[in-house]
Each structure stands twice: as C-alpha cells, then as structure tokens.
Amino acid sequence: MFETRLTKLLGIKYPIIQGGLQWLATAQLASAVSEAGGLGIISSLSFPDRNSLRKEIRRMREMTKKPFGVNLSMLPELTKGDRTEEILEILLDEKVPVVETSGRSPEPLIQKLKSEGIKLIHKVPSARFAKKAESIGADAVTIVGFECGGHPGMDDVTSLVLIPSVANSLHIPVIAGGGIADARGFLAALALGADGVLMGTRFVATQECPAHPKIKEWFVKARETDTMVIQRSIRNAARVIKNKAAEKTLSMEEKGASLEELLTVISGQMGQKALSEGDLEGAIIACGQCVGLIHEIKSVKEVIEEIIQGAQSILEKLDGMVKEKDQGV
C-alpha cells in the first residue's frame, strides 16, 4: 500500500519523510522515523564540528539499519561561516544513503554525491527552483508551500497550487511538504500528484523529538493562526511561532534594521537554547501552520501508522462514494 516511485528510489516502506529540523533532528528522532518505515533525516548543522556530526551518523547506524538521510541546509548562515564543504566531506566519507539539501543550488556537490552512490533530494519553495533541481540531476525534489515551517521562499504560493504545478512539470519523484500533518494531508498530496510527503512541524510534537516538553505542549495547543512570517527584509523568509521574539523581529524589519541588528534576535544559538530550555518567547522557533492540526504528542510510530491507516480508510470511503454514484444512489 502506497508504494510509489519515492519508496522504490529510497528503499523505504512508506512515502513519508521527516524534514531537517535544526537542533531537533538528531539520531533519536530520525532513527524512529526510519524504523517506522519512513525516511528519518539528521540535521547536520545542529552539530558544531566534524567529529560530533560523524558520531551522530554512526549513532544513527547503530539505532537503525534502515535508510536515512542527512540535511545540508545551505541558506546563507546567519551566525557562522559556510560549513558546506566541511559537512560534505563527512557525508561522502560516511557514505550516508540520502542527502537532503536546501537553501541554494546543490549543483557544485552533485557529482561527488553521485560518485558515492548517495541519493540527492533538493528542497525548494518554488516551481522554477524545482525545475532547476531536476535539470542538474537531483534524484527527487521536495516542494514546500507557503504554509510550511522554516523557509517558505518569497513567492507565497500554497501547497494546494504548488504540488500539482510541480508534479506536472517534473519527471523525477516529487515530495510535497508544507501543511501536512495527518492522513488527509498525506492522501491529498498524493492526489495532487506527489510521490510522497515531507513533514516537519508534526514530528516536533512526538515523544522521540528532543525539544523541551513545554515546546511540544505549545505545538499541541497552538492554532493555525499562531505562526507568522519574518525575515522577508533579508530575503530569507521564515515561518515561525508568533511570539515576542518574532514580533520584535518584524517591528525591527519595518524600521529598516540591518542584518547585524536583526541577528541580536534571530541568531540560531538563541533558538537552540529556547528549544532545550522550553523558552517560548525569547527566540525564533520555526513552525508551520499545520500546528493547528496537531492535538496530541504521539510516538513517531503512531504518527506514521495513523497516517497510513487513516489514508486507507479515506480511500475506502471515497471508493464507496464512487460506487454509490455508479449505482445511481
């Protein structure tokens, strides 16, 4: 059930991917996703140096024998220099099965990854970047809509429009992200032409996610209106929890603050502290609109199985509707 070009490409049971989650996507969370039949992804930038990243990849291999990925976020780093080369070296050396890139074109990396047999999924927020990713040889593309947690790009196009638009124009597998948190979203994405889904926000509110309990509780209580988009002024739009830090950032942007001034509020290190200490107001925390669809902290296995079983039930219901119509009911 739900075997797609993506499950075949990656060698996974279900077409469900956990997107990179800065500070949270450790081997603990990612291995739970891979063990449950999806593709778990470790966030490389959460690890400060070569050794700690290498150790985490090896820990992942001890926790699961199933395929997994490592996210290489190449957005202009807001706090430190560009670590792409350093991280790439570890990924090649460790021969990780899958690399998820985001932020800028992975063209300079692609030959090296391919020569080690590593699959490349590039994550983009717009149809034109998706086309470009295919043209340079990515194995699959993830398209994220305006609803998504993290970086929705600058075009403000929602998943409902982006998924079919990209699915129509690409030949490689398309993964849909942004706004998906349950069986309905999963099946809708497949119906819109995707070969699989990627979820970020839903996996934050899981037992295996290392976020502080206060953060997970907020994700359970929050509504779909509790996020906002900031950092447009530096062309690095980010959908985040609507809190004091995000409101302050937006008001500084409206007054024309420079990147250096903004960094006093948006620095990644502050986010790390907030996620581990449960500080909901003092730092920027990425979060998608589908937070309004999350009502319980569950295990990763429960999240994935409920999606698969729920999608089967919806399919049966829809099938029943078609049959009733055929019989003139």
Interacting residues toward ligand FMN by CB under 6 A: 19-22, 24, 43, 71, 73, 102, 123, 144, 147-150, 177-180, 198-202, 204, 286-288, 290
Q: How far is the CB of 303 from ligand FMN (least distance, A)?
A: 12
Q: Structure tokens of 250?
A: 């937006």
Tokens 């739970």 belong to: 32
Report which residue's Cβ sits closest to ligand FMN. Answer: 200
Q: Are 267 and 259 in contact (CB under 8 A)?
A: no
Kindly tell me which of 202 and 248 has the beta carbon lying closer to ligand FMN.
Answer: 202
Kindly tell me which of 20 and 97 has the beta carbon lying closer to ligand FMN.
Answer: 20
Q: How far is the CB of 35 from ligand FMN (least distance, A)?
A: 19
Kindly tell me which of 30 and 167 has the beta carbon lying closer to ligand FMN.
Answer: 30
Q: How far is the CB of 211 from ligand FMN (least distance, A)?
A: 8
Kindly tell me which of 257 and 280 has the beta carbon lying closer to ligand FMN.
Answer: 280
Kindly tell me which of 25 and 257 has the beta carbon lying closer to ligand FMN.
Answer: 25
Q: How far is the CB of 324 from ligand FMN (least distance, A)?
A: 34
Q: How far is the CB of 329 from ligand FMN (least distance, A)?
A: 37
Biggest CA pair distance of the chain: 67
Q: How far is the CB of 323 from ligand FMN (least distance, A)?
A: 34
Q: Of the candidates 28, 85, 93, 19, which has an alpha carbon nearest to the alpha carbon of residue 54?
A: 93
* Amino acid occupying residue 283: A
Q: How far is the CB of 275 from ligand FMN (least distance, A)?
A: 7
SS (H, E, C) the chain: CCCCHHHHHHCCCCCEEECCCCCCCCHHHHHHHHHCCCEEEEEHHHCCCHHHHHHHHHHHHHHCCCCEEEEEECCCCCCCCCCHHHHHHHHHHHCCCEEEEECCCCHHHHHHHHHCCCEEEEEECCHHHHHHHHHCCCCEEEEECCCCCECCCCCCCCHHHHHHHHHHHCCCCEEEECCCCCHHHHHHHHHCCCCEEEECHHHHCECCCCCCHHHHHHHHHCCCCCEEEECHHHCCCEEEECCHHHHHHHHHHHCCCCHHHHHHHHCHHHHHHHHHHCCCCCCCCECCHHHHHCCCCECHHHHHHHHHHHHHHHHHHHHHHHHHHHCCC
Kindly tell me which of 257 and 311 has the beta carbon lying closer to ligand FMN.
Answer: 311
Kindly tell me which of 28 and 257 has the beta carbon lying closer to ligand FMN.
Answer: 28
Q: How far is the CB of 168 from ligand FMN (least distance, A)?
A: 21
CB neighbours of 195 closer than 8 A, spacing ≥ 6? 4, 5, 6, 15, 140, 173, 174, 175
Kindly tell me which of 120 and 148 has the beta carbon lying closer to ligand FMN.
Answer: 148
Q: How far is the CB of 72 from ligand FMN (least distance, A)?
A: 8
Kindly tell me which of 176 and 257 has the beta carbon lying closer to ligand FMN.
Answer: 176
